[in-house]
Amino acid sequence: PSKINLKDYKKPSFDVETIDLDIKLFETYAQIDSVLKMVRQTTGDLVLFGEDLELLMVKMNGSQLGTEDYQQQAGKLTISDAPNEVTLEIQVRICPQTNTALEGFYMAGSGDDTMFVTQCEPEGFRKITFYPDRPDVLAIFTTRLEADKRYPTLLANGNLVEAGEVTDEPNRHYAIWHDPTNKPSYLFACVVADLDVLTDSYKTSEGRNVLLEIYAKSADIDKCDVGMQALKDAMKWDEVNYGRAYDLDRYMIVAVSQFNMGAMENKGLNIFNTACVLSSPETTTDARSFSVKAIIAHEYFHNWTGNRITCRDWFQLCLKEGFTVYRDQSFSADQQSSAVQRIDDVATLRAHQFSEDAGPLAHPVRPESFVEINNFYTTTVYEKGAEIVRMIANTLGQEDFRKGTDEYFRRYDGQAVTVEDFLSALSITDNKIEDFIDWYRQPGTPVVSGHQNYDSATQTLTITLSQQTRHVSGFDAPKPLPIPVATALFDKDSGNIIAERMLLLDQATQTFACEDVASEPVVSLLRDFSAPVQLNYDYQDEDLAFLLTHETNGFNRWQVTQMLVNRILLQGQGSKSSPDVYLQALAQTLPRLAADDAMLAARLLDIPSAQELASAINKNYDPELIKAQREALYQQVAEALKDQWAGLYEQLPMQSYEDSADARGTRALRNVVLDMALTANVNGAVEWAEQQYNNASCMTERFGALKAMVNHQVTNADEYLADFYERFQENDLVIDLWFSVQASADTVSTDVIQSLLEHQDFDWNTPNRVRSVISAFSSQPTVLWTQEGLEIYTGVIKKLDDANPVLASRLLQTLARWNTLVEPRRQMAHNKLLDLQKHAASKHVIESLESVLKA
Ligand code: B3K
Ligand code: ZN
């Protein structure tokens, strides 16, 4: 497979003004007729992309073309010497019924229960028809859909123009949709299905009345209210915070059970994984429900950041994703405690993005080359991309950031642009912002190290900071980046803040002097995680314990507990801290915090996941050792606070369900306390779990109890698992939970995984179900990195390689850090990957494997 390079970007030779699509769906295939009005922009061939298409006919300006009039090879149809104005008429046949890749136009569901949907981003439109399928070609789409009446729902982007019966075919009907906005083909969507709809409306700040619709199977329509409310909240939020209103008369969301990722922002017609739109208290955990709202907001925000202003090419993916993730994180921070939001975002970043950046898949936020762009929908592009926007926003301050984003929307509305364009608009009040471009170009997580010096004679505190980024092979030697380090000085006696400063570290090493400091303070650095870096500051454990008590910001308190925990757990890696300081600090903090902010209290008891800990280990990583250390520390915490659990659990009684930040905090903390109590063998804890399960008012309570019982292997755990299955067997999303609680259990074995894969409800064609077993199980490194574990895991990749390469390649990326393992695991993993390479078929998997193996 060939590499595509950013530096080779060329403008398209032709623009498309309009495309008229006619999609006729039949029992075993679909026929697509399209009319493209194209106008030459520059010299060069007229190039259309097409994959898995049966070409029936192509006409140019009225005359039919023969095979001698064009070349067709490697997914391209090329017409040389085309005139300056071209009307192309193309007829193709495709087979959505057998499309298991879930890209292009495909059938979801099975038997009597089927529907047809599209997924075009990034390059799925070329599986529907021949087209200049690239994001810098914008056109006006008109879509006619025709199908059997057993599919009453016919949807496409934009406004409904006409609908009716097909002449002489009493069983068939059609609908015509017109989208008045210019858009790239990756934002095209259509749906042919039998769905119910929840409707609502929203009046925009510009006075437009917008019809809002969420389409779902009739059994799921009662789970759409949370999403609908989130949509209205997001619409309002974007008006208030960015001055952006919605621009069409209709906004549709469609829920589909087979989908490769979370959701897709197609213009006016979002398509969502059911897991990311459906929510009800009885079937959805709080965490899931909260992410439903965030994803609805994310896709909505794309209407401006992605759709109206889109990417010039796929290297610029972070332009829309980084900014939109930053926007959805800010939205979510307004819906709960902003500290907890930041904790969750940073924990995800550290566990997944830091580990990506530390391994063989490391790439810049804006990659410079790819074989398969689907492989680059990564946490680096999304989450690190969002961190860069956050650093810029914090550097500018709220007012100037808003001026910059206003300028961005004013200048580039309706265009396909680059990261440089984005930075140039944001820098209208401060041209230093353009220096952030290096963050987009340079892979690797910077490590910031530092120490302080206090001179009592001059009352001066000097903070010395330096930065270092590993040299990732294939890239230029790393340069110093602009790193904003939010800093506060705390007076040791009073515990109060005496100064706050934003230090900008933009050289290899720098010293920052703070004057008029009466006595040596404790310095709190990188507050609110002001930059996506690793911090090594020469703190004493006591300093961290001090900050845990005195930091004013909840995020920073969490951050110091994490530093303490890391010091304890990574002892083998050269650190040597005793848990005492940490345990004492926790014992002091917890009771008060539990009453004030239960959600934050729950997070303070976090012990970093095995993956996050592993991301900091580059050699001889021993999964057993890390697991044993994690468990030992967890046990110590549980025992050190053993006397508190019963009291806390009582303080957090189950109440009738409410979806407020407080109620969610109570439920989260109760689940943590329950697990701690079971860990410490507190008298009666098993009964608490059983009662919580039986009397649960919502899924968070019921599933929290089930999970604790499964993880602690309480005697009746199997009965509760059976009860859970019985209660919810009609609901696929809950059955996903049933699979995942078993597959991710601390005690899981490869036998259990094998039997889950053989269960009657396991389904290879539903990515949610595959992930509920396979991704869940990969969270247990002691089982994953064994002969049998890898056999199963790579077996799944082999199986999916051909059927669904996007999913297969994504699962493979989880194995990237094999090279850090202790022997003999490392060699074993290497052999398994080499074996996989012999079978690899898709360019997705081939590219990922090649990167993973170059470790
Ligand atoms: N833009 C889509 C992701 C498409 C992924 C294609 N493999 C969802 C999102 O980020 O909003
Ligand atoms: Zn997105």
pLDDT digits (tens, 9 = 90+) for 135-153: 999 999 999 999 999 999 9
Q: Which helix (H) or strand (E) holds 321?
A: helix 317-333
Amino acid 286: pLDDT: 98
Q: Measuring from atom 2 of ligand 1, which residue has the nearest CA? A: 264
Q: Which of 102, 264, 318, 373 to mutate to test the pocket of ligand 1 (most atoms within 8 A of CB)?
A: 264
Question: Residue 626 CB: number of other CB atoms within 10 A?
Answer: 20
Contact 321 CB / ligand 1 (< 6 Å): yes
| pLDDT band per the 50, 70, 90 thresholds, residue 578 | confident
Are residues 704 and 670 in contact, defined by beta-carbon separation less than 8 angstroms? yes
DSSP for 1-57, please give it: ---EEGGG----SEEEEEEEEEEEE-SS-EEEEEEEEEEE-SSS-EEEE-SS-EEEE
55 Cα–ligand 1 center, Å: 28
Per-residue model confidence as pLDDT tens digits over 428-459: 999 999 999 999 999 999 999 999 999 999 99
Who contacts 341 (Cβ-Cβ below 8 Å, separation ≥6)? Answer: 329, 332, 333
Per-residue model confidence as pLDDT tens digits over 69-90: 999 999 999 999 999 999 999 9
CA distance 594 to 634: 19
Per-residue model confidence as pLDDT tens digits over 697-707: 999 999 999 99
Who contacts 220 (Cβ-Cβ below 8 Å, separation ≥6)? Answer: 255, 274, 278
Q: What is the 3-state secondary structure (H, E, C) of 419-448?
A: HHHHHHHHCCCCHHHHHHHHHHHCCCCCEE
CA distance 540 to 257: 51
Amino acid 572: pLDDT: 58
Per-residue model confidence as pLDDT tens digits over 725-743: 999 999 999 999 999 999 9
Are residues 792 and 754 in contact, defined by beta-carbon separation less than 8 angstroms? yes
Structure tokens at 653: 């009684």
Contact 675 CB / ligand 1 (< 6 Å): no
Per-domain residue ranges of the chain:
4-194, 310-441, 747-855
- Report whether pLDDT(516) > 70: yes
Amino acid 575: pLDDT: 58
Q: Which CATH number fits domain 4-194: 2.60.40.1730, 3.30.390.50, 3.30.565.10, 3.90.1010.10?
A: 2.60.40.1730
CA distance 107 to 120: 14
Are residues 389 and 424 in contact, defined by beta-carbon separation less than 8 angstroms? no
Per-residue model confidence as pLDDT tens digits over 771-792: 999 999 999 999 999 999 999 9
133 Cα–ligand 2 center, Å: 19
Who contacts 632 (Cβ-Cβ below 8 Å, separation ≥6)? Answer: none
Q: Measuring from atom 5 of ligand 1, which residue has the nearest CA? A: 121
Query: Considering every ligand atom, which ligand is closest to the CA of 325?
Result: 2
- Report whether pLDDT(574) > 60: no
Q: Which of 121, 276, 299, 380 to mutate to test the pocket of ligand 1 (most atoms within 8 A of CB)?
A: 121
**DSSP E strands, 227-342:** 250-256, 263-264, 269-273, 310-311
- Report whether pLDDT(568) > 90: no
Q: Active-site residue 299, yes or no?
A: yes
Per-residue model confidence as pLDDT tens digits over 291-334: 999 999 999 999 999 999 999 999 999 999 999 999 999 999 99
551 Cα–ligand 1 center, Å: 38
Q: Which residues pair with 145 in a beta bridge?
A: 23, 175
Q: What is the pTM (predicted TM-score) of this model?
A: 0.98
Amino acid 573: pLDDT: 57
392 Cα–ligand 2 center, Å: 19
Residue 657's closest CA among 226, 378, 282, 347?
Answer: 282
Structure tokens at 17: 């003004």
Q: Which residues pair with 483 in a beta bridge?
A: 505
| pLDDT band per the 50, 70, 90 thresholds, residue 571 | low
Amino acid 569: pLDDT: 86
Contact 298 CB / ligand 1 (< 6 Å): yes
Match 């071209």 to its residue by tokens.
86
Per-residue model confidence as pLDDT tens digits over 324-352: 999 999 999 999 889 999 999 999 999 99
**Percent of the chain clearing pLDDT 90 (strictly above):** 95
Question: Which is catalytic among the residues 299, 372, 387, 551?
Answer: 299
| pLDDT band per the 50, 70, 90 thresholds, residue 855 | confident
Contact 261 CB / ligand 1 (< 6 Å): yes
CA distance 342 to 548: 17
Who contacts 34 (Cβ-Cβ below 8 Å, separation ≥6)? Answer: 19, 20, 21, 22, 88, 89, 90, 91, 129, 130, 131
Are residues 244 and 300 in contact, defined by beta-carbon separation less than 8 angstroms? no
Amino acid 438: pLDDT: 98
Domain 310-441 annotated CATH 1.10.390.10: yes
Contact 264 CB / ligand 1 (< 6 Å): yes
**DSSP E strands, 257-312:** 263-264, 269-273, 310-311
Amino acid 576: pLDDT: 62
Q: Of 275-284, 479-488, 624-633, 671-680, which range is least confident? A: 624-633
Q: Mean of the pLDDT values across residues 203-229?
A: 98
758 Cα–ligand 1 center, Å: 31
Per-residue model confidence as pLDDT tens digits over 616-669: 899 999 999 999 999 999 999 999 999 999 999 999 999 999 999 999 999 999
Contact 317 CB / ligand 1 (< 6 Å): no
Are residues 192 and 116 in contact, defined by beta-carbon separation less than 8 angstroms? yes
CA distance 609 to 250: 43
Structure tokens at 554: 């909840």
Nearest atom (ligand 1) to Cα of 298: 11
Amino acid 9: pLDDT: 98
Amino acid 609: pLDDT: 87
Nearest atom (ligand 1) to Cα of 263: 8
The values of phi and psi at residue 755, to 5°, are: -70, -30
**DSSP E strands, 360-472:** 369-370, 416-417, 447-455, 460-468
Nearest atom (ligand 1) to Cα of 806: 7
CA distance 581 to 346: 24
Contact 299 CB / ligand 1 (< 6 Å): yes
